[in-house]
């Protein structure tokens, strides 16, 4: 968590920060999540922002807030790779001259080395998967992938935790970079004896990499392929919990 030393807060603001995508479906999903968070917490000003492609940028959203606001930047990221470690702290630093007090939350997935995954995230994954097919005997947790080795390990941690949570064998898959893709992971589970493997989606929004993972999983014989997490209630609660923790810290530092 990092905070900028600025002006004491008035109305809390929560700025969701997505990676951004050329695929318009991604922005639609992000805006839907922002609306869902606002419905859950109508006392907050909730805005969506993007690091790339779509706009607005997070710094522009922060600059548009009333003077004296306190704001939480919530990364809509499941791993703490380059964007989480470099880009977002740079936004907080750039916001220092603004008349708002800014705090940065952790990403939504597990931190490197922590080994713990939020039960809300596990419940969100299951909600998407259970809607499709409740009778499974193995699961692949498919993610976008990253060149960051530590971030890849957190995805593997999440896959292992999800398998333990469901009580079935689990494997990890990546749509890009190193590691097996979703189809290869499904094939390996079937070779190990699984008859009804499924693909859970470690994606917040649809896009090319999700489409690739879903296609290869189906081609390999997955009996179910979950949709991206989107605005499922458990994810809304996880975003709100992340924001609450930072807003409380910002308020205390302003006292």
Percent of residues, the chain, with pLDDT higher than 70: 89
> Between these two residues, 54 and 137, which has the higher pLDDT value?
137
Nearest by Cα to 134 from 187, 229, 192, 200:
200
> 146-173: per-residue pLDDT in tens?
888 888 999 999 999 999 999 999 999 9
> 188-230: per-residue pLDDT in tens?
999 999 999 999 999 999 999 999 999 999 999 999 999 999 9
Model confidence at 4, pLDDT cuts 50, 70, 90, reads: very low
| Mean pLDDT along residues 10-34 | 93
| Mean pLDDT along residues 124-133 | 83
- pLDDT for 9 equals 42
- pLDDT for 2 equals 41
> 232-255: per-residue pLDDT in tens?
999 999 999 999 999 976 654 554
> 63-91: per-residue pLDDT in tens?
999 999 999 999 999 998 655 567 899 99
Mean pLDDT of the chain: 90
DSSP structure string for 80-138: -SHIIIIIHHHHHHHTTTSSSEEEEPPPSSPPTTT----HHHHHHHHHHHHHH-S--SE
């Amino acid at each position: 968590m990092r905070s900028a030393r600025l002006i004491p807060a008035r109305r809390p603001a929560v700025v969701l920060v997505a990676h951004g995508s050329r695929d318009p479906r991604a922005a639609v999903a992000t805006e839907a999540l922002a609306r869902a968070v606002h419905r859950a917490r109508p006392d907050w000003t909730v805005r969506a922002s993007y690091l790339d492609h779509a706009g607005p940028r997070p710094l522009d959203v922060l600059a548009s807030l009333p003077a004296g606001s306190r704001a939480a930047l919530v990364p809509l990221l499941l791993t703490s790779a380059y964007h989480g470690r470099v880009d977002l702290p740079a936004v907080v630093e750039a916001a220092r001259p603004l008349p708002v007090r800014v705090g940065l939350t952790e990403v939504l997935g597990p931190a490197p080395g922590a080994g713990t995954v939020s039960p809300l995230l596990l419940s969100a994954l299951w909600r998407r998967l259970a809607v499709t097919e409740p009778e499974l005997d193995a699961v692949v947790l498919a993610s976008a992938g990253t060149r960051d080795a530590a971030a890849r390990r957190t995805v593997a941690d999440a896959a292992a935790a999800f398998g333990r949570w469901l009580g079935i064998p689990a494997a990890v898959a990546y749509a890009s970079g190193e590691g097996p893709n979703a189809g290869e992971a499904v094939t390996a589970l079937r070779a190990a004896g699984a008859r009804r493997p499924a693909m859970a989606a470690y994606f917040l929004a649809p896009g090319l990499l999700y489409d690739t993972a879903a296609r290869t999983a189906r081609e390999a014989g997955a009996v179910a392929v979950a949709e991206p997490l989107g605005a499922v209630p458990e994810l809304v609660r996880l975003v709100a919990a992340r924001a609450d923790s930072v807003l409380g810290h910002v308020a205390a530092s302003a006292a």
